[in-house]
Copies of this chain bind each other. A is one copy, B any other.
């Protein structure tokens, strides 16, 4: 799936509700999901980790939409390797 397509899909499901909730409230939800990812990583169950990675990605996507950021464009900074050293693999210290 395209990054852009995922962002649109999440918008269709949640944008109206998340826009009404606003940036602060939606950021708290995002952080809550980051906490669930932390727990899943500590426990190390792969299926649960996959669920939480998807949820954090979904919340990141909805936050980007609320902020008027197109994720697919934003990640262009990684197209030429590490944005700092310009290498792949990264050669930063």
Contacts and interface: CB of A to CB of B under 8 A. Distances in A.
Interface in A32-71: 34, 37-38, 41, 46, 49-51, 53-54, 56-58, 60, 63-64, 67-71
Nearest to A30: B34
Contacts of A41: 23, 27, 63, 67
Contacts of A9: 78-79, 88
Given A53-B64, A58-B78, 15 more contacts: A3-B3, A9-B79, A13-B78, A13-B89, A23-B41, A27-B38, A27-B41, A31-B34, A37-B63, A50-B74, A51-B74, A54-B77, A56-B60, A57-B60, A57-B75
Contacts of A6: 3, 75, 78
